Structure 1
Amino acid sequence: MLRLSDFDAVTFDVYGTLIDWEPSIVAFLTEWARKAGVKADGEELIMAFDRARAEIQKERPAHLYPEVLRRCFDRISAEFGVPVDAGQREAFSRTPHEWPAYSDASEGLKTLQVRAKIGALSNIDNASLSSSCAKMDIRFDIVVTAERVGAYKPAQEHFDTAIADLDALGIPRSRILHVGQSLRADITPANKLGLKNAWINRPQRLLGLSGEGAAEARPDLTVESLAELLDAIA
């Protein structure tokens, strides 16, 4: 069993784990599909997005996240056989600033930060993450973004950078707990690096649960919310 007393730092995936991005993406793409005459339901659209971003995030040099979203929009438009709407494309690239936090995120992070350092390991750009941190009213002790390291999880650069940042604070990797919603981008790479980890399997959410590496994920603990995680490890 995992116990908070065994860790000096808890690092988090942000989008999907702390920020509830999926309904907003589904809503945007559903409205786009309606206007474009695309016959697809929300699950088809979100999975098209998931496939597109997984491929685009492998490209090097890495794109900033707004550009990832633009390219995702291009691929989704092509997949459903409609021309790219330039205005909608640009609007989609700005949506991270609108994504809401889960209701348990702010209180849960503040509770944890009293007892441990907290970190953000996020496939995002710095400006978008700043907007999300403001929504959660939180300041992370360490922050590793795709913009900072020039790569997207599950690339090891994210985790190596976080481990180095925490080592500089006197925290060894054996005292780090990593928490994420994405099996593909968080749990599987944490397994490979020997990091203890918890999977927040948010109900009715699909992003990051399939694709390359997802089937290999072996979480040390599975919960459905940050509040449940705190109860389990307190």
Structure 2
Amino acid sequence: MTIDLADYTALSFDCYGTLIDWEAGIAAVLGPWARQHDPSMTDEQVLVAYSEHEAAVEAEAPTTLYPDVLREAFRRTGNALGLPVTDAEADALGTSVLRWPAFPDSAEALARLQRHYRLIILSNVDREGFAGSNRQLGVEFDDILTAQDIGSYKPNPANFAALLARADEVGATGRLLHVAQSLFHDHVPGKAVGLPSVWINRRHAQPGWGATPDPRVAVQPDLEFPSMAALADAVDAAFDR
């Protein structure tokens, strides 16, 4: 499918992994912890070990607030690796979201995109966590839908039903484009409900999936860019035409 970026009036975004560097944020806590016990452990290895546990906690306990998801996922990662996790260490990850850095291009790209589109957040986080991250992004989003608001976490279809309902409310039905890094959390379930999508492939220079679970099924986003800046450049060019 070939799409024209100028045909859309709204963009919905995943936040963590797409706009905020959640792998850097998680690795800043889990990496030093792991190397206390095994100096050979790399950040990538611990992120891969962690990835499935966070997704499992979110699926099993969909109304759990994200800081507690992080704490439990850390404990499960420790159990899987045979390494102890103290309550203080679990708390360090649970309270770390506000310190997760934005990707360097996110704020500037969002400011450019806002000239053309309504901007919507669809994020696997709680309201407080997103509010802290949003201060780094410097953009006032038109709509914010968090896991706390919806009562479940992506890739649950309910999250995308909520997004489509909001698009209908604001007159963007059929003119909404979803922008995300995670094939597992966003592109697979988004395609299942017919959403056109843009893959921000932040890991384009790295093999493997990192902190994001393997999507397990084939999925084809409509467009792919290595960064938010590259998307913003393409959007500017589309509207200039």
What interval of TM-score do these two structures reach, taking the shorter chain for normalisation? over 0.9
Letter of the 1:55 counterpart = A
CA distance in 2, matches of 1:61, 1:153: 9
CA distance in 1, matches of 2:130, 2:28: 21
Do the aligned partners of residues 152 and 67 (structure 1) sit closer, same or farther apart at CA in structure 2, a change above 3 Å counting?
Answer: same
Is 1:206 the equivalent of 2:188?
no
Comparing 22-31 and 91-100, the one that deviates more: 22-31
**Contact 2:62 2:153 (C-alpha < 8 Å) held by counterparts:** no
Letter of the 2:226 counterpart = E
CA distance in 2, matches of 1:224, 1:3: 18
What does 1:135-150 align with in structure 2 at a 5 Å threshold? Answer: 135-150=136-151
The superposition leaves residues 157-178 of structure 1 with CA deviations (integer Å, 9 ceiling, x where unpaired) of 1111121112111111x10000
CA distance in 2, matches of 1:150, 1:19: 22
- Give the CA RMSD over aligned residues: 1.7
Letter of the 1:60 counterpart = A
Query: How far is the alpha carbon of 1:28 from its aligned partner?
Result: 1.6
Identity of aligned residues (%): 37
- Residue 168 (structure 1) aligns with: 169
* TM-score, normalising length: structure 1: 0.93
What does 1:55-204 align with in structure 2 at a 5 Å threshold? Answer: 55-172=56-173, 174-203=174-203, 204=206
- Residue 45 (structure 1) aligns with: 46
Letter of the 1:192 counterpart = A
Do the aligned partners of residues 38 and 52 (structure 1) sit closer, same or farther apart at CA in structure 2, a change above 3 Å counting?
Answer: farther
Question: For structure 1, which runs of at least 5 residues remain unmatched after alignment?
Answer: none
CA distance in 1, matches of 2:68, 2:192: 29
Comparing 20-29 and 200-209, the one that deviates more: 200-209
Aligned length: 232
Letter of the 1:157 counterpart = A
Question: For structure 2, which runs of at least 5 residues remain unmatched after alignment?
Answer: none
Letter of the 2:180 counterpart = G
- Residue 233 (structure 2) aligns with: 231
CA distance in 2, matches of 1:208, 1:85: 21
The superposition leaves residues 62-90 of structure 1 with CA deviations (integer Å, 9 ceiling, x where unpaired) of 21100100101111111121222111111
**Contact 2:25 2:97 (C-alpha < 8 Å) held by counterparts:** no
**Secondary structure in 2 matching 1:58:** helix
Query: How far is the alpha carbon of 1:209 from its aligned partner?
Result: 5.2
Do the aligned partners of residues 208 and 41 (structure 1) sit closer, same or farther apart at CA in structure 2, a change above 3 Å counting?
Answer: closer
Query: How far is the alpha carbon of 1:114 from its aligned partner?
Result: 1.5
**Contact 1:185 1:208 (C-alpha < 8 Å) held by counterparts:** no
The superposition leaves residues 121-174 of structure 1 with CA deviations (integer Å, 9 ceiling, x where unpaired) of 1000110000010011111111111101110101111111121112111111x1
* TM-score, normalising length: structure 2: 0.90
CA distance in 1, matches of 2:179, 2:94: 26
**Contact 1:208 1:214 (C-alpha < 8 Å) held by counterparts:** no
- Residue 24 (structure 2) aligns with: 23
**Contact 1:121 1:143 (C-alpha < 8 Å) held by counterparts:** yes
Query: How far is the alpha carbon of 1:207 from its aligned partner?
Result: 4.0
CA distance in 1, matches of 2:36, 2:143: 42
CA distance in 1, matches of 2:190, 2:24: 26
Do the aligned partners of residues 61 and 11 (structure 1) sit closer, same or farther apart at CA in structure 2, a change above 3 Å counting?
Answer: closer
- Residue 216 (structure 1) aligns with: 218
